[in-house]
Structure 1
Amino acid sequence: MLPAQNRTGATEDEVTAWALGAAAGDADAFEHVFRALHRDVRRYVTALADDSQIAEDLVQETFLRAVSTVHLFQGRGSARSWLLTIARRTVVDNLRRAASRPRLADTSDWQFVAECSQPRDLPGFDEGIALMALVDALPDERREAFVLTQLLDMPYDDAARTSACPVGTIRSRVSRARTTLCAMLDEKAEPVPAG
């Protein structure tokens, strides 16, 4: 089996070695970690955050937290697992802050405005939106496990460490998420009876 590679072509072991280098004081090493894991962190944060508009801010905050605590990284797990754990905590902290203050909107139909501003001509765009809507409809714990293992291709044991739960729980959540997604797809595929 070949080692997992990310968008930059680096293996998990190489990215972890860069993180260890950054922890030891190598100023350039963290830039390699950033380039290798930025896309995964962005996808994960976007999937967890209630507000996709704030996702990029949360990604930046995740990396700021990682830079300030990289000296504590000891390589017990992969650098990706470590960074996604920081991302998860960043999103949770943001959700807690948001829950403590009222939400404001300057339009009564913000959803219509958002839908009108989306590009329509891209191939697969509508299917991607439909798939993400189904994934977003999953319960939080199942959605998180599904995104980590199926969309980010994270090994189950790393996903378990990121979510702070046993590996069996992750496997169960992913299985239930798949079952739920299949059921939702079957519901949407059934023909509507004629009036």
Structure 2
Amino acid sequence: MITSALPSHADPRAQRELADASATAWALAARAGDADAVEQFVRALHHDVLRYVSYLCADPQAVDDLAQDTFLRALGSLHRFEGRSSARAWLLSIARRAVIDGFRYAAARPRRYDGADWQAAVERAQPRGVPGFDDGIALLDLLGALSDERREAFVLTQMLGLSYEEAAVMSGCPVGTVRSRVARARRELMELAG
């Protein structure tokens, strides 16, 4: 039986490594046909996928669909997962491709709004009075000011906790480039916030 018990005294990096090891073990067990492991694999990584997709995707309405698409793709190709990387890194790379495909699909089939005042409708649909909501909006605004490459590197390493090496593999660039992008993103965010 694979467990996800995380010691409360461990540092965040050790907790993340233990969680990654558990998720990878669940993915390998699911690959072997264990239905319970499939459920545990999805539960362990669902929040990370939602978070990552929401930072990459410009359409908040599409986040759940893209996350679901990510898991459908992952479960369909789970038989090819060999555990050479963490299951989280593998799954987030699938999420990245799902978002890119979503952008391509949206560009090929633009949607129209039939209402008279679409901006007012969007403003009315935004949640109000949710704790941390304004901070989240401020963070999204600050992250939106970064270039796509810097934002992706920052979100992967600083918000999702991937190592620089894992982020480099997902981004398809050298580790030094990821380090540079994160450092520049930090500097820009501090300048924008200050």
TM-score range, shorter chain: 0.7 to 0.9
User: 2:94 aligned with 1:83, yes or no?
Assistant: no
Range that drifts further, 116-125 or 46-55: 116-125
Aligned pairs for 1:111-122 (under 5 A) are: 111-122=119-130
Q: 1:27 to 1:45 in 2, by over 3 A?
A: same
Cα separation, partners in 2 of 1:160 and 1:126, compared to 1, 3 Å: same
Deviations 1:28-74 (A, max 9, x none): 21211100000000000011012111111000000000010000000
2:139 to 131, 134, 140: 131
Contact 2:28/2:83, CA 8 A, preserved across alignment? yes
In 2, Cα distance between equivalents of 1:185 and 1:109: 32
Which of 11, 14, 22 is the matching residue for 1:3?
14
From 40, 45, 70, the counterpart of 1:32: 40
**Residues 28-67 of structure 1 mapped to structure 2, 5 A cutoff:** 28-67=36-75
- Give the 3-state SS of the residue equivalent to 2:165 in structure 1: helix
Mapped partners of 2:34, 2:139: distance in 1: 41
State the Cα distance separating 1:181 from its structure 2 match: 1.3
Q: Distance in 2 between matches of 1:154 and 1:137?
A: 22
Q: Conserved in 1, the CA contact under 8 Å of 2:56 and 2:99? A: yes
CA RMSD between the two structures: 1.8
The structure-2 alpha-carbon separation of the partners of 1:105 and 1:137, relative to structure 1 and needing over 3 Å to count, comes to farther
What is the identity percentage for the equivalent residue pairs of Structure 1 and Structure 2?
56
Runs of 5+ unmatched residues, structure 2 = 1-10
| 1:22–1:29 contact (8 Å) kept in structure 2 | yes
1:172 counterpart (166, 177, 180)? 180
Taking structure 1 as reference, are residues 157 and 49 closer, same or farther at Cα in structure 2, changes over 3 Å only? same
**Counterpart pick for 1:143 among 133, 151, 159:** 151
Find the aligned partners of 1:113 and 1:102 in 2 and give their Cα distance: 19
- Listed as ranges, the gaps of 5+ residues in structure 1 are 187-195
For residues 100 and 54 of structure 1, the distance between their equivalents in structure 2, rounded to whole angstroms, comes to 16
Aligned with 2:70: secondary structure? helix
- The answer on whether the counterparts of 1:3 and 1:12 sit within 8 Å (CA) in structure 2 is no
1:112-154 deviation line (CA, Å, top 9, x unaligned): 3222232322233212211111112221111111111111111
Moved more, 126-135 or 87-96: 126-135
- Distance of 1:161 and 1:110 partners within structure 2: 40
8 Å Cα contact 2:153/2:167 also seen in 1: yes
Aligned length: 183
Specify whether residues 112 and 183 from structure 1 end up closer, same or farther in structure 2 by C-alpha distance, changes over 3 A only.
Answer: farther
Judge conservation of contact 1:65–1:86 (CA < 8 Å) in 2.
Answer: yes
In structure 2, distance between residues paired with 1:173 and 1:52: 25
- Residue identity in the other structure for 1:92: I
